[in-house]
Structure 1
Amino acid sequence: MKALLHFTCMVSLISCSVDITPPEIVSYSPPHNAIVQSSCPVSVCFSKSMNKDKTQKAFVLLYGEYGDSSIKGNFAWSNNDTEMTFTPELPLSNGYYRLIIEKTACDTHDNTLVTQHISNFTIGLDTIPPEIESLQPDDCSENIALNTSITIAFSEPMDTASVEKNIRLSPSVDYTSMWNTANTILTLTPYKPLLFNTWYQIDIAKCEDLSHNMMIQPVTCRFRTGSEYIRPVITGLYTTSISQNMAQTENFTIYEGANINDEIIITFNEPIDTSSINRAFIISPQSTWNSYWGNLNQTCIIHFPQPLDVNTRYEIRINTNLKDVAQNTLLNDLCVYIITNGNLSIIPSITNLECLIYEQKALTPLSVTDLGDESNENTTYEFTVHFSAPILRNSVPDNVTIQCLYGEQPEISGNINQFRWIDDSQTLKLTIAAIEGGNVYKLTFKGGTDGIKSSNGIPMQKDVWYIFYFHPVD
C-alpha cells in the first residue's frame, strides 16, 4: 500500500509542469526614439502575467539626456497583469526621457527578464543634439578586411541628407549608402575593395537629426586595411641550366650559359598571389610563357612553349606588381640578363667533311676540291660528315642533295644510297653512288628553318655546299 501511494505521488509530481520560461517585453509606448507632442502615460506589454510589485520596482523613467531626475507616478495593470501603464504624477515637461526596465522584473513564477530594457523618447520640441553611439571599424583598428563596410549608429533618427553630405572618407572611396528603417544606422559599402595596407580616415561633422539639431562634436575615426604587412621577397632565381642564384646578385648582372629550352624557377619567402605573376614577370625580347606553382605557392616555374632564340640576350624582370596572399607588394624590381649560349643551344654546323678513296681526304666548303683519281673498282664513295652538335637525324635525308654541275658524262648525276649515323649523332656516313670521274659534283647540306637541325631543334644557319671532282682513269 505504501509503495502504491509513493508511486501515485511521483506521477502527480511529474504531471505538474514547472514554468521556467522568462517573460519578454512584447511592446512599449512611446516607441524608441519617438517624438511625442505632449505629456502621455508610458505603457509596457509583457508576454506573461507579471509580479506587479517587483516589476514596478524595476521600472525607471529618467528625465534629461544624462538622467538628471527620476519621474514619479502611479501604476495600473490590465489584461491579466500583462500590461502595465505608468501615469506621471505631473505632466511630463518637454525634453528627453529614458525608459529603463531592469532585469529584476519577473513573472508570477519569479522568472526574470533576460536583458535590461532601455529606450528613449522626446516630449515636445526636440532640442537634444544627436550623437554617434558607435562607429565600425573602431578608431585606430588594424587588420581590416578589404571588403569591409563602414557602419555608423546615431543616438536618434537623422536627417539622412545632412549626414551623407557631411561624411568625408580619405583616401577617397566611392560607396553606396543604406539606412535602417529608423534612420539611426547608416551603412557605407564601397563599390571596390579598399586599398591594401592603407590608413583610412572618416570625418563626420555637422550632421542633423529630424529636428535639425546639429552634432556638437565632430567625430574622426582611422583604421588600417590588411591582415599582415610583411613584403614578399624573391629568395631564388634560376634557369634549368644556370644553377647560380641570380636573386642574390646586383640588378642588371649578365649570366651566360642558358639554353633555349630552359625553364625559369623563382622561389619566394612566403605564399604568393599566383595571379599577380601575370603582370609582374616580364621577358624581353618578348616570348610566350606559362606559369606553374608548387611548394604551397612559394615556387613559380616559368615555361616557354616555344624555344627561346639562340645566342640571344634576354632581360628577365620581376616588378612590384608581384603580391603575396595578403596583397603586400614586392619592394623593388629584380632585373637580370641571361644569354642563351649554353651547350644545348649551340647552332649546328659542319666542322669537317672527308671522302675515303685510298685515304681520307678533306673537302673545303664553298669551294672546289680535287679528290684525285677515281676508283677503278666502282663509282660509289663514302663521305664522312662531322657536325658541331648532335643532330636531329630525321631532319637530314630530305636536306642533303647531290647534283652534277657539268662534265664528260653529266647524265651520271650521283645518288645518295645510305645515311649511317655513328652513336653520338654528330658523325654521319654518306654513301654516294653514280660518281663518274671527269664530272663536277655539288654536295649541298640545307640550313635555315626547314633545314638540318640539332637534336634541340636548332637549325643550321644557312646552306653549306661542297664542289668536288675525280680525275677519270682510262
Structure 2
Amino acid sequence: MLINRKEANRTAVCENGNRVSHAPHGYVAILSLKCLFFLFLAPSCSEDDMLAFALDTAPPRVVAAFPPDGMKQMAPDGKVWFLFDRGMDRPQTERAFSLTGPEGEIQGAFEWKGDRRVEFTPSRRLNSGGQYMVRLASSAESGSGKDLKEEYRAHFSLSADTSGPTLLRSRPKHRAQGVAPDSSIELDFSEPVSFSSLENGISVSPSFAYVLSLKDDGSTVVINPNSALSRGLNYDISLTQSIRDRQGNDLIDPETVSFRVGQDSNPEIQSVSADDVQLTAGQLTHGISKDCDLVIQFSEPMEAPSVEAEVDLSPDVAILKSWNSNTDRLTLDPESPLSSETDYELTLPASLTDHSGNEIVNPGKYPFVTNASDSQHPEVVLIQQGLADPPGIVDGAEITRNYRPDPELPDYGIVDTSHVIDVDRDEAGIDQALVFRILFNRDMELASLHEGIEFIPVLNTGSSEIAVHSIQFGTDSNEVLVIASWTPTGSSESPVYALQISTKAKDSRGNPLQDRFRRYLAF
C-alpha cells in the first residue's frame, strides 16, 4: 500500500484519540508486513496512522544539510544546520554533533526550529585557512529512540584555495656534498608560505642557531646560520606539515633535505664491470655474457636523474636502471638479453654530475663483445643421411645408428632413397621417410628447431615431395634427427631440395644461428 503524497503532511489522530507524528513532505513508504498486521489489529486507524507506524520502524535520515560536502568560500560567520525526516531527540542529537577545523574542535550553541531542524552557531568567527569537517554520528536519535540511519560528514573551507604548498627545490640540493661552511639554505615552495608557521615547521639536525627570512613574495624560505657550519658533518633540514600557506593549508608532504659540509671535489668513475668482468675505457673487452648486468661505481653520490639520462649503451637496448641506497653505484639491467657475439659500447660522458653539479673527471667509452661461452652462435658441424634396416621399401623398416656418407653429405650430395624408414610401422602399408642427422657444436632447443628447419624445393622437383615429419634428439642434445616424409618423383628427373635451418633455430641458452644455413641435396 502506498501513502498518498498529498496526505503525508497531515497530523493523524486515531479514533481512540491518540495523535500520530508528522511525516515529511513527499515521503513515500511501502508498508511492511508489520504494517499490514497493524491494519488488521487496528482497522479503525487512518493512513496517517500507518505512516507514523512506518516512520517509527525505519531509522531517521538527514534530508538536507548546510554546508554541503566540498563547499568552498563559506562565510566565516555562517551557521551549520540539519533538517531531519522526523522529530529528533534534542540532547542526543546535540551530543552526536561535532565541528572540527585546523586548530581542533570548535564549540558553539544549538538552536532548534521545531524537532526536525537544528542550527549550530560557532562561538567564534572561523579562520579563513584550512579545512573544516562537520560530523553527525549515527548515535543521533529520533524522538522514538531510533538511531540515525548513517553517519553524516561534510568537508568545507572558507577559502577557494584548499591545496597546501609543496617543496619544489632546495639550495644546496638534497644529498649535496662539499657544501661551503658559510652557505645559507634556501627552500623554494610552490606558493607563498605563512612566516608564523615556520617556527614549528622547520627543524635542523645537528642543531645550529639561525635566522629565518622570506623572499620572492614569500615562496622562498631562507635559513641563515648565525655561524659557519661544521666541516665534515651531515646536516638534515626537516620540514613538517606544520608549515602552511597563507590560506592555512598544510604542507602536502613532509620533506627532509640532507647535505654534507666540507671541501668539494669532482666525482670519479672508479670501476665499470659486466657481471664480474672489468671493462676498460677505450679498450675492447671480450668474453662478456649476453645476460650480463653493467655496474658503474662512482667515488661519491651522484645526481641520479641526470646520470640516468646521460648514460648510453649502443646499439640501443631497453634498460632498467637502479641505484644503491647511497646513489654512488648504478646498475644497468637489460630488459632482454643482449645479442650474441655483438659489439657494444657503454658511454659515460663528462656531463655526469654529483649532487653539487660537479662533473666527473674521467669520462670514457667502454667497448665490449658478447662472446662469452654462453653467448656464442651455434654452428652446424655436419649433415649425414641415416640408414634404414633393412634398406629398400620395406614395411616396418627402422633407422639404424649408422649414417652415411662419411664424413658428411656435401652440397648437392646424392641422397640414397632406398634407405627409407616406415613411420607407421604399426599399420599396414608403407609411409616412407628419409632420415637426416644434423650435428651442432652446441646443445640445441628442440622447440626452436621445429620452427627453423624445413625443406625448400630448388630444381626439377616434379611430383616429388619432401617435408619435415618430426624432429628428435639423438644420443645428445646437439645431435638432431630430422624425419622427413618422402614422396618420390614419378619421372626420370633428379630433383634438388635444400635442407634449410633458419636463424629461428637456437641453442639451449637462446643463442640463434648467426646466418641462415642451407645444404643442397640431390635425389
User: What interval of TM-score do these two structures reach, taking the shorter chain for normalisation?
Assistant: 0.3 to 0.5
Bigger radius of gyration among the two? 1
In the superposition, the TM-score normalised over structure 2's length comes to 0.42
